[in-house]
């Protein structure tokens, strides 16, 4: 059916490439046991090989052989497999296999018939068993191998490889050589590194001279912007450190990167959003179309996380263009990440200076059900079936942010949430106090402050409460004394001063940024080539009694961009019939009634105009859809607001901390006898130092 010469060419190229590009994994080592082979293949199902490699020692340290595994319960296995994903399925499989092994007195299948009658009889695992244990010629056929074979030999619509007779036959024809094992590995490695799902490296591909996929697509997919997503996390990747960014940041609950863009800097905002009389060091350069480019900060994000795959895709798409690896972003629950780290895996990087986190706000938001700590959803956003909430519910995930703080011991942490949190009983005080207990009351947590985004040049009615904690034993004695006071002086206050006069008054403040300024010269969707402007919610006007049925005021700031609006985002303009007031657009320019686009929402949030919220996969299909785009924008911290916080912290770094050349903290000054003292901050066991050979109290030092 397939050209034999083409098969020979495919084999030769792949094996030659494999000699110098093979990936090194523990299950590929010589002389590993049959037990390790079988377990490894189950761990590898639908999971990135690099993830399994990092997790490998954790599992085999706990269950090094069949005997230990046979004593494990399903719940035991679920617990250790949970961070890897598919944990219920894997736990059931391993339990059945282990019990069968025990029942048969340690005898494994000796031939294909026995294999087919065993609990190992699934396509991928049984093929691996045949190949590695029975030494038969078998294909390790999964979706990755199938993709490479189809693209090269017969590009057509994918089917489930388990039921596709043609691809099964092709795979066996291709691998049917003496070097069967090496060819299997070569195909899998080539599919992972070169022939990726969404961004194949066709120009680099050594098969492209005879590849039907390459010829048919004519390189259409070469510019796909986002790397192929993989199941679960990639642990502790090697991150290239920028010497101009000495302060290393862990970002939690990262979403599509609003906080991270702000902490990194070097992005475009409207010129009216910057008050250079107050912040003359913010602007790096002027840009066309009334935008300015902000200076980079000294902060580098080396770890980001969220449970939303679409958020990861948007984040990676933006930051990869700025030289950041997609491996930085971990699509996994913070609960699972912390648990995996505590199980012995190296999840969180060392030498962290800052931890940021906009922990989930839905349970505190005025727009939500306001369940607070008693959230109805768990840490993965799924509905809780039990009646009682736990520390793993969405409303208490700030405690897991605290766990990361205790693991990484940053000098500063910044946590953000909605203003509604402040109005829920004593929630603010509880969270403040909980944060202060990190590392045994090791942090001064300043009284949380509500910042209105419009006071910082963001053209939006958006209020957020910020918690800032600072590690006591990293501070100089003078800084510790100042920060421990009930009222922190302006010189030492880490909260940024306002720059615009929406809720504030004062010298040199600029007026609020108006929507007509940021929308100036922005083409209508029908005239735009920008997908984030072209595609938008077509939800019809439902009457002003419903949420989101109002027209924005071009002579004012924008409404709060909500994440949960179900298509009912506010209108860019209403028809006169429905109460529209922008008469010159509707009557004179004949512009249609429509809702805000994701691009317009992004500009209201101060995302840079080159941030791609909507990414088309192919004609009529989306890698990130318009409905998802709205949610990503609404969930985000305004980048400019985050930039103000970052620049303020950056400006105070040398004032706060004992200096060292690389931005980390030098060994604190020796501290003698300490006794507790109460301060105006929630640092319950702040301390007074008693200095030898001096009278009285010298400093509050923590």
Known catalytic residues?
A: 361
| DSSP string computed for 414-467 | EEEEEGGGGGSTTHHHHHHHHHHTHHHH-EEEPPPEEEEGGGGT-SB--EEEEE
Q: Is 541 left (phi over 0), alpha (psi -120 to 50) or beta?
A: beta
- Distance, in Å, from the CA atom of 175 to the CA atom of 190, rounded to the nearest integer, reads 14
Q: How many CB atoms lie within 10 A of CB 612?
A: 23
- CA dist., res. 259 & res. 639, Å (int): 6
Nearest of 502, 510, 613, 504 to residue 561 by alpha carbon: 613
Place of tokens 């505190």: 364
Task: Report yes or no: 77 and 95 within 8 Å, Cβ to Cβ.
Answer: yes
Report how far residue 548's alpha carbon sits from residue 565's, in angstroms, rounded to the nearest whole number: 8
Cβ–Cβ < 8 Å for 507, 497: no
Comparing CA positions, the residue from 254, 252, 236, 231 lying closest to residue 83 is: 231
Phi/psi for 159 (5° steps) reads -120, 170
Q: Collect all residues with Cβ–Cβ distance below 8 Å to 333 and sequence separation of at least 6.
A: 307, 379, 380
Distance separating alpha carbons of residues 428 and 464, to the nearest angstrom: 12
How far apart are alpha carbons 560 and 679 in whole angstroms? 36
Q: 649 with 354: CB under 8 angstroms? A: yes
Structure tokens at 534: 């072209």
Maximal CA-CA distance, the chain: 95
Q: In whole angstroms, what is the distance from residue 275 CA to residue 296 CA? A: 17
From CA 296, how far away is CA 454, in angstroms rounded? 22
Q: CA–CA separation, 374 vs 295, rounded Å? A: 42
The 3-state DSSP class for residue 195 equals: coil
CA–CA dist 155, 166 (Å, integer): 12
For the sheet containing 686-689, what is the strand order?
674-677, 686-689, 699-700
- Two structure tokens written together for 570: 């506010």
CA gap 596, 565 in Å, rounded: 12
Say how many Å lie between the first and final Cα of the chain, rounded: 77
CA separation, residue 612 to residues 313, 599, 608 (Å): 10, 8, 9
Find the Cα–Cα–Cα–Cα dihedral 396, 402, 404, 407, rounded to 10°.
-140
Beta bridge mates, 303: 250
Identify which of 381, 301, 383 has the alpha carbon closest to the alpha carbon of residue 646: 301
| Contact of 567 with 546, CB cutoff 8 Å | no
* Distance between CA atoms of residues 324 and 548, nearest Å: 37
Helices (H) and strands (E) in the chain, counts: 25, 18
Q: Are 227 and 198 in contact (CB under 8 A)?
A: yes
Radius of gyration of the chain (CA): 29
Whole-number Å distance between alpha carbons of 513 and 498: 13
Q: What are the contacts of 576-584 at 24+ separation with CB within 8 A?
A: 578/541, 579/544, 579/551, 580/551, 581/551, 582/551, 582/554
Which token pair is 36? 């390790």
Q: Report the candidate in 68, 130, 54, 146 with the shortest Cα–Cα distance to residue 102.
A: 68
Fill in the DSSP letter of residue 457: T
């Amino acid at each position: 059916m397939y050209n034999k010469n083409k098969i020979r060419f495919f084999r030769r190229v792949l094996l030659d490439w494999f000699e110098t590009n093979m990936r090194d994994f523990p299950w590929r080592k010589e002389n590993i046991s049959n037990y390790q082979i079988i377990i490894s293949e189950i761990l590898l199902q639908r999971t990135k090989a690099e993830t399994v490699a990092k997790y490998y020692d954790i599992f085999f340290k706990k269950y090094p052989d069949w005997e230990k595994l046979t004593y494990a319960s399903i719940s035991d296995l679920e617990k250790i497999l949970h961070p890897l994903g598919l944990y219920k399925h894997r736990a059931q499989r391993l339990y059945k296999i282990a019990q069968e092994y025990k029942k048969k007195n340690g005898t494994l299948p000796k031939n294909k018939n026995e294999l087919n009658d065993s609990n190992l009889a699934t396509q991928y695992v049984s093929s691996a068993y045949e190949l590695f244990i029975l030494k038969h010629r078998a294909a390790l056929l999964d979706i990755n191998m199938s993709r490479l074979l189809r693209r090269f030999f017969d590009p057509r619509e994918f089917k489930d490889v388990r039921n596709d007779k043609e691809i099964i036959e092709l795979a066996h024809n291709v691998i049917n050589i003496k070097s069967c094992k090496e060819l299997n590995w070569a195909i899998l490695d080539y599919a992972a590194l070169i022939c990726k799902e969404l961004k194949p490296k066709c120009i680099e591909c050594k098969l492209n001279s005879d590849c039907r996929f390459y010829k048919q697509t004519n390189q259409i997919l070469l510019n796909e912007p986002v790397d192929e997503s993989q199941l679960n996390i990639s642990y502790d990747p090697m991150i290239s450190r920028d010497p101009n960014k000495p302060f290393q940041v862990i970002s939690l609950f990262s979403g599509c990167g609003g906080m991270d863009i702000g902490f990194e800097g070097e992005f475009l905002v409207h010129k009216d959003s910057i008050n250079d009389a107050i912040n003359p060091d913010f602007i790096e350069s002027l840009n066309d179309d009334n935008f300015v480019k902000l200076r980079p900060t000294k902060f580098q994000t080396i770890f980001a996380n969220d449970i939303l795959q679409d958020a990861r895709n948007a984040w990676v798409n933006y930051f990869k263009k700025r030289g950041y690896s997609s491996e930085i972003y971990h699509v996994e629950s913070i609960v699972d990440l912390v648990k995996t780290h505590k199980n012995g895996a190296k999840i969180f990087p060392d030498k962290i200076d800052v931890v940021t986190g906009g922990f989930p706000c839905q349970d505190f938001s005025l727009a939500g059900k306001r369940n607070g700590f008693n959230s109805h959803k768990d840490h993965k956003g799924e509905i809780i079936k039990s009646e009682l909430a736990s520390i793993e519910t969405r409303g208490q995930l700030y405690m897991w942010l605290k766990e990361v703080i205790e693991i990484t011991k940053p000098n500063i942490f910044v946590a953000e949430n909605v203003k509604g949190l402040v109005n829920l009983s004593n929630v603010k005080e509880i969270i403040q106090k909980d944060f202060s207990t990190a590392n045994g009351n090791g942090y001064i947590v300043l009284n949380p402050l509500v910042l209105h985004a419009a006071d910082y040049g963001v053209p939006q009615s958006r209020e957020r409460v910020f918690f800032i904690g600072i590690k006591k034993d990293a501070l100089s004695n003078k800084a510790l004394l100042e920060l421990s006071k009930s009222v922190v002086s302006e010189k030492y206050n880490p909260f940024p001063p306002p720059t615009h006069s929406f809720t504030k008054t004062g010298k040199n403040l600029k007026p609020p940024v108006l929507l007509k300024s940021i929308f100036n010269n922005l083409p209508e969707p029908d005239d735009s080539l920008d997908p984030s402007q072209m595609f938008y919610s077509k939800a019809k006007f439902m009457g002003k009694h419903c949420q989101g049925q109002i027209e924005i005021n071009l002579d004012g700031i924008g409404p709060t961009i909500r994440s949960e609006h179900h298509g009912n985002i506010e209108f860019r303009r209403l028809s006169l019939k429905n109460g529209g007031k922008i008469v010159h657009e509707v009557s004179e320019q004949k512009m249609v009634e429509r809702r805000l686009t994701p691009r317009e929402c992004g500009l209201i949030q101060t995302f840079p105009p080159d941030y791609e919220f909507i990414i088309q996969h192919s004609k009529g299909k989306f890698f990130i859809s318009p409905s998802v785009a709205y949610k990503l924008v609404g969930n985000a911290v305004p980048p400019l607001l985050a930039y103000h916080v970052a620049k303020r912290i950056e400006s105070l770094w040398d004032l706060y901390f004992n200096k060292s050349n690389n931005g980390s903290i030098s060994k604190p000054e020796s501290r003698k006898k300490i006794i507790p003292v109460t301060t105006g901050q929630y640092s319950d066991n702040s301390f007074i130092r008693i200095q030898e050979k001096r009278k009285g109290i010298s400093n509050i030092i923590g």
